[in-house]
Structure 1
Amino acid sequence: MQLNDYLRQLQSQNKSVHTVSNYQRDIEAFLGFYLSGELLSETDVSENSFLTAVEYQNSLVKNFSEWQSIDSETIRAFLAFRVQNGISARTLARQLSAIRSFYDYLLFENQVIKNPAKGLKAPKQPQPLPKSLDVDLTQRLLEQPLETWQDVRDQAIFELLYSAGLRVSECAELDLSPGLDEMQSGWVRVLGKGMKERLAPVGSKALQAIQMWLQIRDQHAAAIEQAVFVNQRGGRLSVRSIQNQLDKRTLQAGLPTKMSPHRLRHACATHVLESSGDLRAVQEILGHANLSTTQIYTKLDLQHLAQVYDQAHPRAKKKNS
């Protein structure tokens, strides 16, 4: 059987047992859907048959070889059927990938003349809402004692991520010039996605933290290093190092949550939006090319509003059961 041959090939490619099992289950689920109509019209299946309907369908699946008869519309119908049954977009994407991969194998083996799954797109993955951080927890993170030169450096980094809403890569790649040329005016110049340059705002706390760091930076940076933030060897601090330092600060602050530099960027956006309601301003701060990218923060803002309303409005409070 072609399916068994395909699964053996996956095993020979050192695919994990979990992957092979998933692909087998996905392809059999699709074939079961395809054969369901044939099963209902099959005259050999009757109440007196020693095979149940389920057993009979399983036998059809195991012995099926007419893969050439399946077209793109059948695969679309299968995906639509799975959507109606509440299957997640992530699972559907994996199932379509399994079907496409199997047909690639059949093409290679000259058992079909085309791949009906080629060109089909899985349902769009739902965009998860970014996890923000409330103001009190943000302040606790940023108000820890500074005992080493790395603490002073990290304070400048974290304040900048939160104040300017920078991506962590933008922070790591920030150079003394032109990055800090306009810092005294309250701006840093960063190079964002698509090599687009923008000015990002620097609040008073971030400005103070950066100035403290610059006072000692030259003691730790290599002579020719232009990076604002440097490591113990005097070279540019990496994105991974920033994440590691933030992990340490999170533990130091006793925060009841996992932190990431991206969450500080999200916190900047949500806190500005909650206070101002100005979505265009948030778009400019974050450096989003399209307003639609920024609009996800309106969902966060509405979630926050709903929580406050439920807790504060006398006619919204739920009665104790």
Structure 2
Amino acid sequence: MSDERWNELFAALRSNRDRAIVALAISNGARASELLGMKGVDVDWGDQLVRVVRKGAQTEQWLPASAEAFIWVRLYQSEGTPLDPQAPLWWTLRRRDRGAGLIYQPMNYEALRAVFRRANALLETNWSMHDLRHTAALRMARDKRLSLRDVQTILGHAQLSTTADIYLVEDEEQVIARVQEYLADVKERAALPPPSPATGYEASDLDVLFGGELA
């Protein structure tokens, strides 16, 4: 997902809750099930970390998240959702039965899918939470400040080869742009005049060295 497409998707979201969830996903690549399983106690405001239970291994792991993501989480929580540290972090308003009105219920995967259905209908796209995870992974993998081991740890892959096989791919347009830049440099260097020889060498010696004829 390009930055332009990401901005379009984010602008199509209708609530601070939805913005908070996708902002977390794009910053650390956490899976939908991992984010939906978070509780209030799983947010470390001071160190800007969130704790998730990893899919498969079912182990807890703290993950970094962007400052922007924490802003959206704070805005979401300021809207009156339950703040019990041991309760689920994400809530949605639903009607329990006829006449009961709207009540808060923990957000589930189907409710999150509905968020994307609404955004995709508006944008005529087909984005999903997996696209956010994939985008986050590619951004990290292409950043020279992060090692492949760093990316593996954040994504929660058991094997380093999984990270390499899936996410160490090159965008064709980026490859072409780099090769074009390389060819332009080669052409520019070829157009430069040859360097002047250092003093102290005989002209006849230089002719022999560079294929010239002896005087």
Task: Tell me the TM-score normalised to structure 1 length.
Answer: 0.49
Structure with higher Rg: it is 1
**The one of 160, 166, 177 aligned to 2:30:** 166
Amino acid at match of 1:156: A
| Structure 1, gaps ≥5 residues long | 1-132, 317-321
State the match for 1:183 in structure 2: 45
State the match for 1:107 in structure 2: none
State the match for 1:237 in structure 2: 107
**The one of 151, 171, 175 aligned to 1:309:** 175
Q: Is the 8 A contact 2:13 2:119 kept in 1?
A: no
Alpha-carbon distance, 1:237 to partner: 0.4
Amino acid at match of 1:213: Y
Amino acid at match of 1:183: W
The C-alpha deviation readout for 1:78-127, integer Å capped at 9, x for no partner, is: xxxxxxxxxxxxxxxxxxxxxxxxxxxxxxxxxxxxxxxxxxxxxxxxxx
Q: Is the 8 A contact 2:53 2:60 kept in 1?
A: yes
The C-alpha deviation readout for 1:7-52, integer Å capped at 9, x for no partner, is: xxxxxxxxxxxxxxxxxxxxxxxxxxxxxxxxxxxxxxxxxxxxxx
CA gap 1:184/1:250 in 2 versus in 1, 3 angstroms: farther
State the match for 2:64 in structure 1: 201
| Structure 2, gaps ≥5 residues long | 94-102, 185-215
Q: Is the 8 A contact 1:270 1:297 kept in 2?
A: no
State the match for 1:152 in structure 2: 16
Higher relative contact order (CA 8 A, sep 6+): 2
| Cα distance in 2, alignment partners of residues 266 and 308 from structure 1 | 17
| Cα distance in 1, alignment partners of residues 149 and 54 from structure 2 | 18
Amino acid at match of 2:17: R
| Cα distance in 2, alignment partners of residues 172 and 284 from structure 1 | 20
| Cα distance in 2, alignment partners of residues 223 and 237 from structure 1 | 15
Over the residues paired in the alignment, what is the CA RMSD in angstroms? Answer: 2.5
Aligned structure 1 segments of 4 or more residues deviating by more than 3 angstroms: 143-146, 221-225, 311-316
| Cα distance in 2, alignment partners of residues 185 and 223 from structure 1 | 20
| Cα distance in 1, alignment partners of residues 83 and 75 from structure 2 | 18
Partner secondary structure for residue 160 of structure 1: helix
Q: Are 2:75 and 1:212 equivalent residues in the alignment?
A: yes
State the match for 1:138 in structure 2: 6
State the match for 1:292 in structure 2: 161
State the match for 1:227 in structure 2: 88
Percent of residue pairs identical = 23
Amino acid at match of 1:176: G
Q: For structure 1, which segment, 155-164 or 277-286, has the greater mean C-alpha deviation from structure 2 after superposition?
A: 277-286
Richer in helix (by share): 1
Q: Is the 8 A contact 1:225 1:236 kept in 2?
A: no
Richer in strand (by share): 2
